[in-house]
Structure 1
Amino acid sequence: MIKRRIQQQVTDALDRQAAVALIGPRQVGKTTIALEIGEERGALYLDLEDRDDREKLSNAKLFLTQYEDRLVVLDEIHRVPELFQTLRGIIDQGRRKGKRTGRFLILGSASIDLLRQSGESLAGRIEYVDMQPLDVTEVGAGENALNRLWIQGGFPDSFLARNEKDSLKLRKSFIRTYLERDVPQFGPRIPAETLERLWTMLAHSQGTMLNVSRLASGLSLTAPTVTKYIDLLVDLLLVRRLRPFRANIGKRLVKSPKVYVRDSGLLHALLGIQDYNGLSGHPVVGASWEGFVIENLLAVVPDRTLASFYRTAAGAEVDLVLELPGISETWAIEIKRSLSAKPRKGFYHACEDIQPNKSFVVYSGEERYPVSDGLEAVGVSEMAQMLLEKAGTQ
């Protein structure tokens, strides 16, 4: 059992707000966290994928009012979206009685509809906590844990599988379940085969500029249709579109986002890569490491951090630009898979353009040392820990 850092965040949020929404992809561990918190607080747990539990909420106001002194956990809330309006009335009624915090813990696989409906109905009454797969600060130190996390990804069942073969089978089952059962719940009916081809094409395009027209041509679909499908994968936290850095610096900047399959384990499953040996010889290895580092760093950045990449038509480039909140501090991060932490010339040119407060090369080694004036080499685990500490001071 790996202790998840986010459990304390959820507990703190429940002590501040009437409703807390724990949002994340399926099988990331939301229910496990909720059950542990629920056991501590004597909560009522309702799984809204269970017909009997949904039936209990046929008269939701009457039923839930009976539990105003207990935390109520509502799992898979997207199955009963009309419940949000009822929760608003119950929360307001409880506030008048002095019951202002810790009323509802809402779990849901992230979707724009979920966020929109809860935002409309529970504004000022709900706090969102995003839950992501395991990251490098949670799985323990050492090269073995780091490589295992990279190869098998951060979904707990996959990371904790007995061996690499079992892990790959679990991830392939996860993909199939999403395509055939989960995706249709959140969006218009999409042929599973078409979406799997798109997801695989995005895996082959890991870390490159998003070219919707090329994808549409390969799928014999229109560009707007492909964009809609990608939007859904983004909303479900399965794909990331990393936006380009925006600044008025008199340079011709790339305007297209870069695209990543967010979990490295799912990326490798989509490409049929089982182990380190298979990944090392695959063309995607560099982009896989880049996406892995980006996801692990963004999992621990302070709230309201703006993440982007910088690239000009002349070739100046920074893999990840972090604009930290509060003190308006900018960090420029180059990502290198090799043990050499020497960046490309384009990185130095880009730093001259954007003038970051700090510059780093995140590489596959563990030592921290200066590369040049104002530029440090640092391992991904230490870099993540630095950002986690920065988040704790916000």
Structure 2
Amino acid sequence: MQDIKREIEPELNRCASFFPVVTILGPRQSGKTTLAKNFFSDYSYINLEEPEYYEIAKTDINAFFSMIKMPVIIDEVQRVPELLHKIQAMVDKNKNSGQFILTGSFQQGLQSSISQSLAGRTAVLTLLPFSISEINSAGLDFTRDEFLYQGFMPRHYSENQPVDLLYRSYFQTYVEKDVQSILNVKDKSKFEKFLHLLAGRIGQIVNYESLANDSGVSRTTIEQWISVLESSFIIFKLEPYFENYTKRLIKSPKIYFYDTGLAAYLLRIRNSEQIARDPLVGNLFENMVILEILKAQYAKGLEKNLYYFRDSKGFEIDLIIANDRNIIPVEIKSASTFNKDFSKNLKKFCTFAKNTLNPTVIYSSQTELESEGIKYINFKNCGKWLSV
């Protein structure tokens, strides 16, 4: 078993030193439980997925807490959000730091419960699947296409679980079962068709009407499905960036997946050799790069500050990183050879966006350089680049 250190650990330690409760959110199987149990190895552990703990927590909260040895890790706390009120009362009496470590994989109800019950009492961190730099730090390395196909779920790297089995199980167990039960989907075939269609629109501006027509459901249903997929850490939106550059800006978000391996599975890509031939290779690569930057931000406990820019004439910047009052414009190219034209849009953008900083091209080439004020970096280093 490969032991891979998580880059969020220093921030986790810092939060547990100042807050009585630390809440770790993230996708199923992203490593939340492993991180919590390894980092807080002397804590007791309760998993609310286990029926006996769940039943006691639901029926008798006082009895539940009387059987707990403090400090404690409570896994999948979103299953019994009522526990948060009791935790609030407990930490108000005893304000010691690091008493509770909570994990959750469904953020919609949990976020609102936290804001109501634990405001000012908990730090909230987000743990996504492994980053490229975490995998590289463990002495492992892969090509662009291998990373895109394999995805970043810990079980593949830590337990050598085959990619096809991992994502088939993940899809059937969590995406279909969990999400469909939350949505109470009546026609599973339409929901499954919608998921495949959504993967086919990765990195594209979301068109609810088109998805509704192609899926055979209403726009309202599509909006509801996308909302739950967001809350379940299956997909995320990249919102457009607005400034007074022009009034003719696109105002709809783009859709990306929290793991490229799941997206590749939904696109019916069955090996890494298919990636380069797939018409969506550029979109998948863009998804991976944006995720790497998002992971680097979350590892430091930062909120997402990522956007894209596009006007009505089709002029686009793939990624805008908002950095205080400045912005970092980024173009993302899956190509493995240097081309000066990659920076064309960046140069144009910098002529009217005067608050730009470090315009950068992230691509597959090993050639890293700076030319005419534009940085060119390899995708494997984008997380480190952001930290500099």
TM-score with structure 2 setting the length: 0.90
- Tell me which residue corresponds to 2:146: 148
CA contact (8 A) 2:338 2:367 kept: no
* 1:314-372 CA-partner distances (Å, limit 9, x unpaired): 232110000124xx33101001111224316444322323231120010102332123x
Which of 313, 331, 338 is residue 334 of structure 1 equivalent to?
Answer: 331
Partner of 2:127: 131
Q: Distance in 1 between matches of 2:272 and 2:352?
A: 37
Q: Which amino acid aligns with 2:65?
A: L
1:175 aligns with 2:174: no
Residues 361/109 of structure 1: CA separation in 2 closer, same or farther (3 Å cut): same
CA deviations over 1:151-206 (Å, ceiling 9, x no partner): 2101111345648xx21221111011123432145444464433222121111111
Cα displacement string for residues 24-73 of structure 1 (whole angstroms, at most 9, x for unaligned residues): 1111111111111231xx211111111222345444335536757x3111
Amino acid at match of 1:119: S
Counterparts in 2 of 1:83 and 1:189: CA distance versus 1, 3 Å: farther
* TM-align CA RMSD: 2.2
Partner amino acid, structure 2, of 1:179: V
Task: Give the counterpart letter for 1:385 in structure 2.
Answer: K
2:23 corresponds, among 14, 18, 21, to 21
Q: Distance in 1 between matches of 2:304 and 2:255?
A: 19
Deviation at 1:220, TM superposition (A): 1.6
Match of 1:363 in 2: 363
Q: Given the alignment of the two structures, is residue 232 of structure 1 paired with residue 233 of structure 2, yes or no? A: no
The answer to whether residue 316 in structure 2 is matched with residue 317 in structure 1 is yes
1:90 correspondence with 2:90: yes
Cα pair 2:310 2:317 within 8 Å, conserved: yes
The answer to whether 1:351 aligns with 2:350 is: yes
Amino acid at match of 2:338: S
SS at 1:209 equivalent? coil
Contact 1:139 1:145 in 2 (8 A): no
Q: Give the structure 2 partner of residue 260 of structure 1.
A: 256
Counting matched residue pairs gives 377
Secondary structure at the aligned position of 1:247 is classed as coil
- Work out whether residues 144 and 364 of structure 2, in 8 Å CA contact, stay in contact via their aligned partners in 1: no
Mapped partners of 2:98, 2:178: distance in 1? 29
Contact 1:202–1:261 (Cα < 8 Å) also in 2: no
CA contact (8 A) 2:129 2:152 kept: yes
- The residue matched to 2:296 in structure 1 has which SS? coil
From 287, 292, 295, the counterpart of 1:296: 292
TM-score, reference length from structure 1: 0.89
Cα shift readout 1:230-274 (whole Å, capped 9, x = no counterpart): 011111121121111111123411111111223111111111112
* Equivalent residue letter for 2:4: I
Residues in 1 aligned to 2:345 and 2:313: alpha-carbon distance in whole angstroms: 9
Pick from 34, 41, 48 the counterpart of residue 32 of structure 1. Answer: 34
Match of 2:268 in 1: 272
| Letter of the structure 1 residue corresponding to residue 385 of structure 2 | M
SS at match of 1:3: coil
Aligned to 1:71: 71
**AA matched with 1:83:** L
2:370 partner letter: P
The answer on whether the counterparts of 1:341 and 1:363 sit within 8 Å (CA) in structure 2 is no
Percent of aligned pairs with the same residue? 27
3-state SS of 1:124 partner: coil
Distance in 1 (alpha carbons) for counterparts of 2:225 and 2:192: 11
1:383 aligns with 2:382: yes
Over 3 Å counting, the alpha-carbon distance change for 1:221 and 1:305 in structure 2 is closer
Question: Is the alpha carbon distance of 1:15 and 1:184 closer, same or farther for their aligned partners in structure 2, counting shifts above 3 Å?
Answer: farther
Partner Cα separation in structure 1 for residue 253 and residue 85 of structure 2: 36
Q: Secondary structure at the match of 1:49?
A: coil
Aligned to 1:8: 10
- Aligned residue in 1 for 2:155: 157
SS class of match (1:176): helix
Unaligned residue ranges in structure 2 (runs of 5+)? none
Q: Is 1:119 the counterpart of 2:121 in the alignment?
A: no
Alpha-carbon distance in structure 2 between the residues aligned to 1:192 and 1:72: 38
Helix, strand or coil for the counterpart of 1:208? coil
Taking CA–CA contacts closer than 8 Å with sequence separation of 6 or more, which of the two structures ends up with the larger relative contact order? Answer: 2
Do 1:290 and 1:337's aligned partners in 2 also have CA atoms closer than 8 Å?
yes
In 1, Cα distance between equivalents of 2:209 and 2:8? 39
Between the aligned partners of 1:62 and 1:335, the Cα distance in structure 2 is 54
Q: For the structure 1 residues 331 and 337, does the alpha-carbon distance in structure 2 shift closer, same or farther, using more than 3 Å as the test?
A: same
**Structure 1 residues 221 and 111, CA gap change in structure 2 (3 angstroms):** same
Distance change >3 Å, CA 147–CA 192, structure 1 → 2: same
Q: Is the 8 A contact 1:49 1:76 kept in 2?
A: yes
Deviation larger for 2-11 or 20-29: 2-11
2:306 aligns to what SS in structure 1? strand
Task: Name which of structure 1's ranges 7-16 and 189-198 shifts more when overlaid on structure 2.
Answer: 189-198
Whether the aligned pair in 2 keeps the contact of 1:334 and 1:362 (CA below 8 Å) is yes
SS at match of 1:274: coil
Structure 1 residue 381: deviation in Å? Answer: 2.3
Q: In structure 2, how many angstroms separate the alpha carbons of the residues matched to 1:283 and 1:216?
A: 23
